[in-house]
A and B are shown apart, each in its own frame.
Chain A
């Protein structure tokens, strides 16, 4: 699976959009980009995924660059409950390979 690179941490103001970048320059054509988050030590929570096109759901939007070498997860209106570790994962087989992720702290 392609490796991903994320900033270790970022802060966001409550009510503002949070933009979380991820680099996956070695991604291949059939590999999906998945985003999960983990609040404290709870089970990882699925957020969104995509292959080539931008995607949006009730939680977030995913913007994938045309060359697919990077993506951005957008939380449109961050709340305090969005404070978590966010993982960007590229997958083409059975397993999810979690890195260290980005620790996002939403501040009031």
Chain B
């Protein structure tokens, strides 16, 4: 059964450093998403991406964040200058269309020191 994969599973970085989180969505999916979950808190929507552009973003997704689909398979989330409060689990999801089921990856645990 196809699934969303994410790398790395864990990442530790110093405050101010750039990080890139990688996701490989399910191959025939066209809609891609990033969510995050700070420890002990709710899963929060960050951004959705379709047809090589951002469809919607939350207020969390500020200028420090960017997304890219650099090739036909990867979908990345970049945080330019990490802050302590960026420490969280980051989940990638993909789906075939609006209101269609979103399938989530296992997540990347990011720790900013």
Contacts and interface: CB of A to CB of B under 8 A. Distances in A.
Q: How large is the interface on A (under 10, 10 to 19, 20 to 34, 35 or more residues)?
A: 20 to 34
B99 A91 contact: yes
A91 B4 CA distance: 21
A93 to B, nearest CB: 7
Contacts of A98: 35, 42-44
B102 A43 contact: no
Given A38-B43, A91-B99, A95-B45, A43 B91 contact: yes
A38 B40 CA distance: 13
Query: Mostly helix, strand, loop or mixed at chain B's interface?
Result: strand
B43 A41 contact: no
B33 interface: yes
A32 B99 contact: yes
A38 B6 CA distance: 17
A96 B101 CA distance: 10
B94 to A, nearest CB: 12
Interface in A75-108: 87, 91-100
Nearest to A44: B104
Interface in B84-111: 89, 91, 93, 98-99, 101-107, 109
Interface string A46-83: 10010000000000000000000000000000000000
Interface residues of B, number: 27
B32 to A, nearest CB: 10
Query: Mostly helix, strand, loop or mixed at chain A's interface?
Result: loop
Contact of B33 (A32, A38, A95): A95
A34 B37 CA distance: 19
Contacts of A41: 37, 39, 89, 107, 109
Given A34-B101, A93-B98, A100-B42, A42 B106 contact: yes
Nearest to A49: B101
Interface of A: 32, 34, 38, 41-46, 49, 87, 91-100
Given A46-B101, A94-B31, A94-B48, 20 more contacts: A32-B99, A41-B107, A42-B106, A43-B4, A43-B93, A43-B105, A43-B106, A43-B107, A44-B91, A44-B93, A92-B99, A93-B98, A93-B99, A94-B98, A95-B33, A95-B48, A95-B56, A96-B45, A98-B44, A99-B42
